[in-house]
Amino acid sequence: MNMEEKRAPHVLIFPFPGQGHIHQMLTLAELLCHSSIEVTFLNTHHNHKRLLQFTNIQSRFARFPGLFQHESISDGAPEDHPRPSGFLPDLTDVMKMNSIMSPHLRNLILNIRDDPGRSPVTCIICDGLMTFAIDVANELRIKSIAFRTISASCFWAYLCYPHFQDDKDLDEKALSVPGMEKENFFFRRRDLPGFSRQFPENPLISDSVLELCIKETFNSARASALILNTIEDLESPFLAQIRTKFQKVYSIGPLHSFAKNLRTATKDQTHNHNGLWEEDRSCLTWLDSQPPKSVVYVSFGSITVLTRSQLSELWHGLVNSGYRFLWVRRPGLVSGEEDSDIITGERGFVVKWAPQEEVLGHRAVGAFVTHSGWNSTLESMAAAVPMICWPNSADQPVISRVVGELWKVGVDMKDVCDRSTVEETVRYVMGGGGGEMGRSTAEIADLFRKSVVEGGSSYSDFQDLVKDLKSN
C-alpha cells in the first residue's frame, strides 16, 4: 500500500448500544460513504446481530463497495443476557461496560492498522456518551469527534446542570436561555433532563445515570469537534451557547432527511430501516384505508417502559377522544408484561414495530403521541405532524418543553397521565391546535427541507465535516 492510499480518510463510527443512537450514526455512515469516505461501523456483538437479522444493512451498504465495513465487540454481558429495552438499570454500571469496551476498541484499531489489506483509521466518531473512545483516540494519535444524539437544547441543559439548586418546586423557573429574553422562554425544573421520574423507587440509579450524562457532556469537549443532529435555524440560541465551550460544532440535521434527499437524487429505491426489531409494514396498508389526517400515531421509542396503569390511562384517553389510532407496542413496553395480550379497539391498530418515518409521512396521520425522543421529534417535525408529548426520562423533558413552548408544534403533557387530559389534548391537537400549531409545523418542516439542500446550513456544515475528515 503506498503513502497516498494510507492517507485516505477512514472513519470508525462507534454508537452507544441503543436504537436511537445506532439509527443516527448509521445514517451518518451512509452520508459519509456517499462522500467517498471509508467507514467502519462498530457495534456491540448483540446489536450487530440484531441489525443483521432485522434490517437490510448488508444490501443497503453494498452500494458502497470498499467503503463500508462492520465490526463488533463485546459489551461485557453474557451472550444470553436479555438486555431489556428499558435498559437503564443494567447500565447503571456503564463505567464497567466502558472499561470492558475500551481495550477491545484499542485492539481493533491496532489490528486494522496492522492489516496490510486495510487503511488505518484516521478518525473516531464516537457517541458522546462513550468518551472513553476519545481517550483511546488520543493515545493512538488519531483524531476524534464526539457525536451526541440529543438536541442542542438538551446538550446545553446538561452543560448548565451544575448550576442548578436542588429545589423541590418543579414549576419554578430553573434556566433562562441567554438571547431568548424577548421570547420569555425558560425551562422549569420539571423540564430539565433527568431519570428520577422513571425510577422514583431507586434514586441511586437515577442519580448515577444523570451524573454520567452530565460528565460525558463535559468530557466530549476533549474531542476535536462535536456533531449534533440538529438545525442551526431551529436551535441557534442553544448552539451559540455550546460554541462558547466547544472548539467546533457541526450542526448537520436532520440526518434522516439528508439521507432521504441523497437517495432521491441517486434514484435509490432502497428502504431505509435501521431498527433493532422486525418492522411490521401491515400498518401502512391499514393507513391506506383511513381518511386524511384521521389517525393518531402512538409510539414511545425504544427504551421507555410504561406501567400498566399508565398504559390504561393513555389507551382510555385515546379511545375516548373518538379518533382512530395506530399504536406501537414494542416488546417490553409495559413493565412486567413482556408477552401479554395486545390491546386493540374498534378504531385501533397495533403493531410491535412500525416503519415510523413512512407512517409519519402518510397522509392519514394527523398527530403523534410521543415520548419526545429526539429522533421521533425530528421525524415528526420533518413530516409536519404535530405532537402530543408525554416525555419519560433523559433528554425527553427538555425536548417536550421546546416543542410545546418554543417551537409550538405540539402540546407538552409532561408528568400528567390521566385519561381526561389525554382525551382533551388529542382532541385539541387533532382539531388543529388553535391554528397556530398548523402554521408552526408547516414553517418548521420547510426550514428542515431548506437546511439539507445546497445553500442550507446543515448542508454546508456537512461539507465542512467532510473536508475536516479528508484533511488528514
CB under 6 A: which stretch of 156-164, 371-379, 418-426, 445-453 binds ligand UDX? Answer: 371-379
Interface residue with ligand UDX among 13, 15, 22, 23 (CB under 6 A) is 23
Q: Go through 145-167 and write b for each residue having 16 or more CB atoms within 10 A of its CB, e for each that does not.
A: bbbbbbbbbbbbbbbbbeeeeee
Which of these segments, 302-310, 335-343, 443-451, 464-472, binds ligand UDX (CB under 6 A)? Answer: 302-310
Distance CA(216)–CA(223), nearest Å, equals 11
Considering the candidates 48, 75, 104, 127, report the single residue annotated as catalytic: 127
Parallel, antiparallel or unpaired: strands 173-176 and 186-188: antiparallel
Asked whether the beta carbons of 366 and 430 are under 8 A apart, the reply is: yes
The C-alpha cell that represents 130 in the structure block = 462513550
- Please say which residue, 38 or 279, places its beta carbon nearer to ligand UDX: 279
CB atoms within 10 A of CB 296: 24
Q: Where are the beta strands (DSSP E) in 379-423?
A: 387-389, 410-412
Q: Has 34 been annotated as catalytic?
A: no
Task: Look up residue 66 and give its three cell numbers.
Answer: 470498499
- Does residue 395 bind ligand UDX (CB under 6 A)? yes
Q: Which position among 27, 149, 153, 257 is part of the footprint of ligand UDX (CB under 6 A)?
A: 149
Distance, CA of 390 to CA of 371 (rounded, Å)? 5
# residues near ligand UDX by CB under 6 A: 26
Q: Which is nearer to ligand UDX, 122 or 400 (CB)?
A: 400
Buried-exposed string 409-443: b where 16+ CB fall within 10 A, e elsewhere: bbbbbbeebebebbbbbbebbbeebeeebeebbee
Return the residue of 40, 47, 356, 457 that touches ligand UDX, per CB under 6 A: 356
Q: Compute the distance between CA of residue 344 and CA of residue 326 in angstroms, rounded to an integer.
A: 10
Contacting ligand UDX within 204-233 (CB under 6 A): none
Contact code string over 320-349 relative to ligand UDX, x by CB under 6 A: --------x---------------------
Closest CA to 75 of 39, 107, 112, 43: 43
- Give the shortest CB-344-to-ligand UDX separation in angstroms: 16
Supply the minimum distance, in Å, between the C-beta of residue 182 and ligand UDX.
28
Strand, coil or helix: what is 99? Answer: helix
- Interface positions, 372-391, toward ligand UDX (CB under 6 A): 373-376, 379
Choosing from 10, 11, 21, 161, the residue that interacts with ligand UDX (CB under 6 A) is 21
Query: Judged by CB under 6 A, which of 67, 108, 150, 212 binds ligand UDX?
Result: 150
Applying CB under 6 A, does 303 fall inside the site for ligand UDX? yes
Under the binding rule (CB under 6 A), the answer on residue 354 touching ligand UDX is: yes
Asked if residue 19 binds ligand UDX (CB under 6 A), the reply is: yes
CB-nearer residue toward ligand UDX: 149 or 457? 149
Q: Which of 282, 275, 314 is nearest to 392 (CA)?
A: 314
Contacts of range 374-377, beta carbons closer than 8 Å, 24 or more positions apart? 374/20, 374/149, 374/150, 374/151, 374/154, 374/229, 374/399, 375/20, 375/23, 375/24, 375/149, 375/256, 375/301, 376/299, 376/301, 377/151, 377/403
DSSP for 121-185 reads P-EEEEETT-THHHHHHHHTT-EEEEEE-S-HHHHHHHHHGGG------TTSEEEE-TT-TTTT-
Task: Tell me the closest approach of the beta carbon of residue 119 to ligand UDX, in angstroms.
Answer: 30
Q: How far is the CB of 289 from ligand UDX (least distance, A)?
A: 20
Residue 275 in contact with ligand UDX, rule: CB under 6 A: yes
Does residue 301 interact with ligand UDX by CB under 6 A? Answer: yes
CB under 6 A: which stretch of 171-179, 244-252, 263-271, 394-402 binds ligand UDX? 394-402
Binding test (CB under 6 A) with ligand UDX, winner from 9, 18, 120, 386: 18
Could you give the string, one character per residue 90-129, with x where binding to ligand UDX holds by CB under 6 A and - elsewhere? ----------------------------------------
341 in active site: no
Residue in 20, 86, 128, 410 binding ligand UDX, rule: CB under 6 A = 20
Q: Which amino acid is at 196?
A: S
Which grid cell sits at 113?
Answer: 492498522
The helix or strand, by DSSP H or E, that contains position 353, with its residue range, turns out to be: none
Q: How far is the CB of 1 from ligand UDX (least distance, A)?
A: 38
> Rounded distance, CA 15 to CA 129, Å?
9
Residue 330 CB, nearest approach to ligand UDX (Å)? 6
Question: What are the backbone dihedrals phi and psi of residue 2, each rounded to the nearest 5 degrees, phi first?
Answer: -80, 175
List residues binding ligand UDX (CB under 6 A).
18-21, 23, 149-150, 275, 299, 301-304, 328, 353-354, 356-357, 373-376, 379, 394-396
**Catalytic residue positions?**
21, 127
